[in-house]
Amino acid sequence: MDVKMWTYIIVGITFAFYIGIAIWTRAGSTKEFYVAGGGVSPLANGMATAADWMSAASFISMAGLISFMGYDGSVYLMGWTGGYVLLALLLAPYLRKFGKFTVPDFIGDRYYSNTARTVAVICALIVSFTYVAGQMRGVGVVFSRFLEVSIETGVVIGMIIVLFYAVLGGMKGITYTQVAQYCVLIFAYMVPAIFISLALTGNVIPQIGFGGTVSDGSGMYLLDKLDGLNKELGFDAYTEGSKSTIDVFAITFALMAGTAGLPHVIVRFFTVPKVKDARKSAGYALLFIAILYTTAPAVAAFARTNLINTVSNKEYVNMPEWFKKWETTKLIKFEDKNGDGKIQYVKDPTTNELTVDNDIMVLANPEIANLPNWVIALVAAGGLAAALSTAAGLLLVISTSISHDLLKKQLKPNISEKGELLAARIAAASAVIVAGYFGIDPPGFVAAVVALAFGLAAASFFPAIIMGIFYKRMNMQGAVAGMIVGIILMIYYMLKFKFGVFDGGKEAVEGLKNGLWFGISPEGFGSVAMLANFIVAIVVSSFTSPPPAHVQQIVENIRVPRGAGKAHSH
């Protein structure tokens, strides 16, 4: 059977499975819609958290980024993994003890004001929409290649599927769907990695193959060979970095702090019965995440080696079928500049004839390595599982922010539970449509968009949450001022240096690189904006009156880990 047929079968089975789960676990109350009724086991929650956490950026883009950036790509590995640890140790148990479903809910109650709550809702919506645009784009890329439809059609199909189980099942449906999606995505990631590791290095464990020798009898280490291949084509050595130390530090820290402020992951810790279970599920999730994260650098190196060996200086007419198929998606382009019919793949843009989109590396990897068709289709199903699981989690954040934090807590306090549930579903449906639009017309490739979402979360939420837990003196005025300054600074920097909004559009962006503040790229600027948030918040709060005594008492109580009650919404 051909790839298309296998894709229909495997993707069809997995989708039927997800939809079946959504129908079986559909939410009947707001508690089930928001936190799955608070009765999920730590093991299941660990898997669901891992699926929620590992988005299209982890599955599709991260190895693609590392494969082109080499050593510099390690910032994504360090930032995202470190951020998860920070979240599990520093924030999750305390927020769980506080007993609030959403980040805006925590901020609204801790800073005793609806102004703070509204600012937090706006920040949550900005972060979630930026992030979900990346997921929709990932879904579009997968569908466009494997079902041979346009990226736009792919995004629309993805929207319909997500809409179905996020709107119907709420957090309850999403949780159990995510357990299934984790199993699909990890299997889909590991199978080709094991096959390719065996073919390239003779080693069945990709992590060991990555540091091993190539199995062509030369006795050369894989990374040495890759360094050589890269240098021949004028690229930087794969194992050497070109980013400045400050930029590496800034990006890593922005990703870490952004992770810890990500609304859709924090909510996951409310779906378990006890605080102890929140810590346990965080540990399980880290284990499940590590499987993919330790494999990604190996997948990146294998894909890069195979790509260079397959295309560099080869006759275009003899290119394998996968090349022609990816060309139709416009994600790989060959332009014969010297008319010799051969593909010149080099660093110098004036003579380079091949443009490759980072996002195709993981998806095309099994095809480049000539793996069986069912493996290629399996990777497509894995990519979709990763994108859809995160998109669903984000849509839930968007819908709860609107129905719970704006409607129930501010505009219509007397709304019935049925009315609130309906509002949450309408908000989720509207959010899917907006996200779909961004997916069709995306700002940059998946991982870059996602990195910016993390920067926005770091700049806005992280200081407000950390100081809300650990600094009793932090008051409403300080928190609100800090969040506003942080997010505006981050958005300004992003628009200026990522999209060239103030300087003549995207074409001008390259020329702006010399003007970067402190030499920090937009992906890492979240660290600077976060620092500004901390400083503004502390200064403002020290010149204004301290929080009321009952709020200070709550902060005291959050940090006592024993005797924590169940999560409640009121």
- Give per-residue pLDDT as tens, 30-56: 666 666 556 678 888 889 888 887 877
> Mean of the pLDDT values across residues 97-107?
78
Instruction: Name the pLDDT band for 536 (thresholds 50, 70, 90).
Output: very high
H/E element holding 535?
helix 526-543
Q: Quick one: 3 exposed, middle or buried, by C-beta within 10 A (0-12, 13-18, 19+)?
A: buried
CA-CA-CA-CA torsion sign (221, 222, 223, 227): positive
pLDDT at 295: 94
pLDDT of amino acid 245: 86
Taking the CA atoms of 99, 104, 109 and 110 in sequence, report the sign of the dihedral they define.
positive
Distances (CA, A) of 123 to 255, 262, 524: 16, 11, 18
Provide the pLDDT confidence category of residue 88 given band limits of 50, 70 and 90.
Answer: confident
Report the pLDDT averaged over residues 293-308.
91
In the three-class reduction of DSSP (H, G, I as helix; E, B as strand; rest coil), residue 404 is classed as helix
Tokens of 89: 């140790």
Q: What is the three-class DSSP state of 83? A: helix
Residue 448's pLDDT band, with cuts at 50, 70 and 90, is low
Which H or E run includes 193?
helix 151-201
Task: With CA atoms as reference, report the closest residue to 461 among 266, 268, 246, 279.
Answer: 266
How many of the other CB atoms lie within 10 Å of CB of 339?
6
- Which of the four pLDDT bands, split at 50, 70 and 90, describes residue 204? very high
Q: What is the pLDDT of residue 564?
A: 47
Instruction: Kindly tell me if the per-residue pLDDT of 353 is higher than 80.
Output: yes
Among the listed ranges 12-26, 491-505, 556-570, which one has the minimum average pLDDT value?
Answer: 556-570
pLDDT digits (tens, 9 = 90+) for 264-287: 777 777 777 777 787 788 889 889
Task: Return the minimum-mean-pLDDT range out of 156-165, 220-229, 290-299.
Answer: 156-165
* pLDDT beyond 90 at 542: yes
- Cα separation of 113 and 119, whole Å? 10
Contact, 295 vs 207, CB < 8 A?
Answer: yes
Please choose, from the candidates 264, 211, 195, the residue with its C-alpha nearest in 3D space to the C-alpha of residue 49.
264
Nearest partner of 101 among 387, 399, 319, 365, judged by Cα: 399
**Roughly what angle, to the nearest 10 degrees, separates helices 476-497 and 446-470?**
160
Give the residue-averaged pLDDT of 113-127: 85
Averaging pLDDT over each range in 341-345, 397-401, 422-426, 506-510, which range is the top one?
Answer: 341-345
Residue 193 has pLDDT above 90, yes or no: yes
Tell which residue, 222, 155, 230, 190, has the closest CA to residue 366. 190
Give ∠ CA 186-191-197 in degrees, rounded to 5: 120
Range with the poorest average pLDDT among 78-82, 207-211, 536-540: 78-82
Mean pLDDT score, 209-222? 87
pTM, whole model, 2 decimals? 0.82
Mean pLDDT for all residues in the chain: 83
Q: Flag the least confident range among 235-249, 437-451, 476-490.
A: 437-451
**In this prediction, what percent of the chain has a pLDDT beyond 70?**
90
